[in-house]
Amino acid sequence: MIVVKKYLLSMVLVYAVFTNVNAELRIEITGGVEQAVPIAIVPFGWQGDGARPFDVSQTLSNDLANSGRFNPLPPDEMLERPLTGRDIDFGDWRILGIEVVIVGQLLQTGDDEYTIQFQLFDVFRGKQLLGYRQPATRKQLRNATHLVADMIYEELTGIRGIFSTRIAYITVEGKPPKQRFRLIVADADGENARILVESNEPLMSPSWSPDGRKLAYVSFEKRQSEIYVQTLRSGARKRVSSRAGVNGSPSWSPDGRKLALTLSKTDGNLDIYILDLQSQVLTRLTNRGSIDTEATWSKDGSMIYFTSDRAGQPQIYRIPARGGKASRVSFEGPYNARSRLSPSAEQIAIVHNDRGNYRIGLIGLDRGYLQVLTKGSLDESPSFAPNGETLIYATRDRQKGVLATVTVDGRIHQRISVVKGDVREPAWSPFRRN
Amino acid sequence: MFATKQWLIIGLMAVLAGCGGSSGTMMDEGTAADDGGASSDDSASLSSSGDDDLMSGGAYDDPTEAGGALEVRVVYFDFDKADVDEASRALLTGHGDYLAENSAREVRLEGHGDERGSREYNIGLGERRAQAVRQILLLNGASASQLSTVSYGEERPAVLGSDEEAWSLNRRVELIYNP
């Protein structure tokens, strides 16, 4: 009976199903566009029954513009609108200074079968760089279009595209003590936002499983911190840690079998533990009077990077995941916390106190240099895109919590806000598995 | 706002001094209210006309409510610190004594931090602050079974704002008595 009551209570506080919300995120590029490559995405043709089910070329154009590296020509400035390579007059595009032209069509091939057919041309050489037919069902058209954008981006830059990836983040509405917390997952372009969990108590620290199918996060819905693992597709979730004291900072091992997490147990001292998700065996990794938290794994799973104030103020350390001696990684400045390892494993992104301002920094792991990438005063929660080119982080815009991205070379900046309330704790998904 | 905080703490210390440092006298002090209760004597005499005598009651006085001696239930901290200052220590001594005398009362210690820096590290600071308060209550006679702790880090600010005033009000431990 008690079990049933508890279950009902948690249903009232939280519902763990995907609910579609309107495109919540608004993205604007705040720097870097002047160096963008002029490109033309000709409005795609449509062959099929009735109205065109999805605007492929508009989404491609948004994706490529959002990257900050391309400047798509508005369709009303185009001198021609070819649908295939045969119909392109390259002279028309050279006059406009366009370097790359993309043409294509959306074709219906069955009841619920479509093909996105496209070609990519180098205008100056008049040569095809890429041509592809991507099949999709009607429901898959948005994702398929992002995949096409990924292919185009990779062809033109040599870097794997991230338009088909997703972002998890927390939104907060209302004034304390009455606030509404939501954990949301959206496509990288901010569309297709879906609520994963909703609660009147804080939600924190979303962490993607390496296969991109699950999220671990912290919830205070029972007025104590607990860690849950939730499957995105089904919405089903499992409580994996509800021990006395703090349950925080979940982080998946690269093989997806373990979670590093922070526990205080009853002595109130935060230490890092590793939980084997299958066997439920818990192994203690640090054992100090200091705050040891914010664990993150090295790419090969052999090392754990974490924040500790064992030297008096928070700094980054690393320790073998099998246990051993911790060594200090960050040295510059009084405050370096919440590290995330870059996909190349060459650097860590951190929250760095830069003369009283909290900013996102990069520390090179081989030579230890520090590079400050952002200019805010309350920047936090950096998360690498899986291609390592861009970081997303939380910042403030006139007292409002917003997200922002910055390329690791510091050149291109974007601001991402929600229509209502604050947005925080962005976590970039791994690459989508095809 | 900082001045207000000081004033509350000084006010509380005065009240504590007034009851001789022993919160155990507070319930007894309630009987002093009898001097304003002439009419209640009347009603007591009226009730003697036949019915069984009622057992004598005591004044209802929860010192943790507004206006009570222990109404201040927040302790504040410096940036990145969990040290309890002298004034807060005196305040907590009062709460520890009260808990020792009232074993049925339980208190939940909610630790908080300001918004600066990383969120999970701030959970650590909030926990450390809640533990510092817990230790003082234990030293003053509260038992472990009366105390629970939780850290909200920067997730549950008392006030919104990004200045020193807001930050100093948000770095706190709140003592939440159960009813």
Average pLDDT value for residue range A230-237? 95
Domain boundary assignment for chain B: 2-10+73-177
pLDDT for the residue numbered B48:
41
**What is the CB neighbour count within 10 angstroms for residue A428?**
23
**Contact across the interface for A204 and B152, Cβ inside 8 Å:** no
**Contact across the interface for A176 and B123, Cβ inside 8 Å:** no
Establish whether the linkage from the previous residue to A177 is cis, with ω within 30° of 0.
yes
Residues B84-130 pLDDT 10s: 999 999 999 999 999 999 999 999 999 999 999 999 999 999 999 99
- Chain A segment 199-228 residues within 8 A of B by beta carbon are 202, 204-205, 220, 223-225
B42 touches chain A (CB under 8 A): no
Q: Is A394 helix (H, G, I), strand (E, B) or coil?
A: strand
Residues A380-418 pLDDT 10s: 999 999 999 999 999 999 889 999 999 999 988 988 887
Q: pLDDT tens string for chain B (179 positions)?
A: 444 444 444 333 333 333 333 333 333 333 333 333 333 333 333 334 445 677 777 777 788 887 787 888 999 999 999 999 999 999 999 999 999 999 999 999 999 999 999 999 999 999 999 999 999 999 999 999 999 999 999 999 999 999 999 999 999 999 999 87
- What is the distance of C-alpha A226 from the center of its chain? 23
Query: Quick check: A198 pLDDT over 50?
Result: yes
Q: Is residue B132 left, alpha or beta, with left meaning phi > 0 and alpha meaning psi from -120 to 50?
A: alpha
Question: Distance between CA A248 and CA A261 in Å, rounded?
Answer: 6
Domain boundary assignment for chain A: 2-21+166-428, 32-157
- Chain A segment 345-384 residues within 8 A of B by beta carbon are 351, 353, 358, 377-378, 380-381
A291 touches chain B (CB under 8 A): yes
Site of tokens 């990257």: A67
Best probe of the A interface among B123, B149, B170, B176, by most A CBs < 10 A, is B123
**Contact across the interface for A353 and B117, Cβ inside 8 Å:** yes
Domain with residues A2-21+166-428, CATH architecture: 6 Propeller (2.120)
- Smallest Cβ–Cβ distance between B150 and the set A223, A262, A399 belongs to A223
pLDDT for the residue numbered A244:
95
Residue A219's contacts (CB-CB under 8 Å, 6 or more residues apart) are A14, A197, A199, A201, A202, A203, A204, A225, A226, A227, A228
Query: Quick check: A156 pLDDT over 80?
Result: yes
Written as one letter, the residue type at A231 is T
Domain with residues A32-157, CATH architecture: 3-Layer(aba) Sandwich (3.40)
Closest CA to A9 of A221, A238, A230: A221
Give B-chain residues touching A289 at CB under 8 angstroms: none
pLDDT for the residue numbered B23:
35
pLDDT for the residue numbered A34:
59
E strand or H helix at B120: helix B119-139
For domain B2-10+73-177, the CATH superfamily is OmpA-like domain (3.30.1330.60)
Under a CB-based contact definition with an 8 Å cutoff, are residues A293 and A309 in contact?
no
Q: Return mean pLDDT, chain A.
A: 92
pTM of full prediction above 0.90: no
